[in-house]
Structure 1
Amino acid sequence: MDQWLIHHIQAFEAPFWTSIMKILSFIGSVNAVSIGSVPIILFLLFVWKSRRETVIFLIAVFGSALLNVGLKLMFQRSRPSLNAIITEVGYSFPSGHSMNAFTFYGILTYLCWRHIPKERIRKWLLAFSSIMIVGIGGSRIYLGVHYPSDVVGAYLISLVWLIVLIQCTRYFTRVKAA
């Protein structure tokens, strides 16, 4: 299945798409997510004045990065050797860029949701986050540095990570209020 999907995704290879995929791939990198986190943290602290949401954001993003490193060391899956457009080092499973994207945009959407009263704006936020998550994951397959199962696995791991984090946050909020 991985080989079939890689073949079909890479069939669209063209200079225009390669440029787009490299940009999306950069956006999902640890460096870009770290840099992008700074204004979000400042906004959460100084505009929304919410230490709680800042801590949730930090735990989500940096916890996901640590989880990714641990899982890569545990699985030690080699990267695909088919038609790589860029070169990456390290293990393949789970895709770090895909986990970064899912966790970053997922927690951002969760934190913003209750602050956005208009349904239409919420839909735009959800659409933007979804496009970024799928685009970044797809870029890793297109560029030949991950198997589709690395990307899907990363999404599922990040989903579980966010669910656990959000449920723990809700639990401790209820316990503290009681």
Structure 2
Amino acid sequence: MKLKGYLWSAFLVAFISIIGFSYIAILISNHKIIQFDQRVITFVQGLESPFLTLIMRFFTYLGSFPSVMVLFIVISYYLYIVLKHRAEFLLFGTVVVGTIIFNEMLKHFFHRARPDFHRLIEAGGYSFPSGHAMSAFAFYGIVAFLLWRHIPDQLGRTILILVSILFIFIIGISRIYLGVHYPSDIVGGYFASALWLTIAIWFFQRYKEKQYERSYRS
């Protein structure tokens, strides 16, 4: 795909993400999403069982800062030292670190308090948008993007995408199940992260395209 194709694809995803995030933020500010949040929370927490709680705790840990940082260090080492893919390493680091900063900025702007009923774990800080949702979407999304480029067969690529989507989805659901986020926090986090991830990947693709053109001319 040429640069123009990347541009339009990125523009479309970014536009949808901005509209989606803005819509969720407006509904939250006007207190018009309360019924949606309550219905989803009631359904998800109605599934509670000891075994499911263990699963949700595990997945919420996969989206936590310590877990993401450990995986970030391991993958960064592999990209930079083993494969010597410096551009991919820079993209990976920019997405992961940028997501954390972006999330903190949004949280302090909106100042939404966390739900205070039926918590199975404790969590501090503001609620919107969900840091776990943003980190999961950005981290597993960029890992899928980087691995996709090195998987030759369609089956492997399909499995990669499905596993990434599953992890992102369950990590988001785990925050609702454990009582530390509203569903709208999760959806808003996905939209915000999709915007940031799209921008980062577009600049990366633009750089690679220009790099290819320079090498072709020489």
Note the 1:18-97 alignment, pairs <5 A: 18-97=53-132
Give 1:149 deviation, angstroms.
0.4
**Residues 1:98 and 2:136 are matched in the alignment:** no
SS of aligned partner of 1:42 = helix
Residue 159 in structure 1 maps to residue 201 in structure 2: no
Q: Which runs of 4+ in 1 moved over 6 A?
A: none
Q: What is the rounded CA distance, in whole Å, between the counterparts of 1:166 and 1:149 in structure 2?
A: 26
Q: 2-side partners of 1:21 and 1:39: how far apart?
A: 24
Show CA shifts across 1:70-120 (max 9, x none).
Answer: 100000100012211111111000110111110000000111111100111
Instruction: Name the counterpart of 1:135.
Output: 170
Correspondence for 2:143: 108
Distance in 2 between residues matched to 1:32 and 1:85, nearest whole Å: 20
TM-score (norm: length of structure 1): 0.97
Aligned twin of 2:158: 123
Aligned to 1:8: 43
TM-score (norm 2): 0.79
Aligned to 1:173: 208
SS of the counterpart of 1:116? coil
Q: Which runs of 5+ in 2 are unaligned?
A: 1-35
| Partners of 2:171 and 2:50 in 1: CA distance | 17
In the alignment of these two chains, the number of paired residues is 178
Once the 2 structures are TM-superposed, how far is the Cα of residue 172 of structure 1 from its aligned partner? Answer: 2.8
Structure 1 unmatched runs, 5+: none
Q: Deviations over 1:129-162 (max 9, x none)?
A: 1111001000000000000000011011111111
Query: Quick one: distance in 2 between partners of 1:96 and 1:172?
Result: 29
1:174, CA displacement in angstroms? 3.1
Aligned amino acid, residue 114 of structure 1: R
**Greater C-alpha radius of gyration:** 2
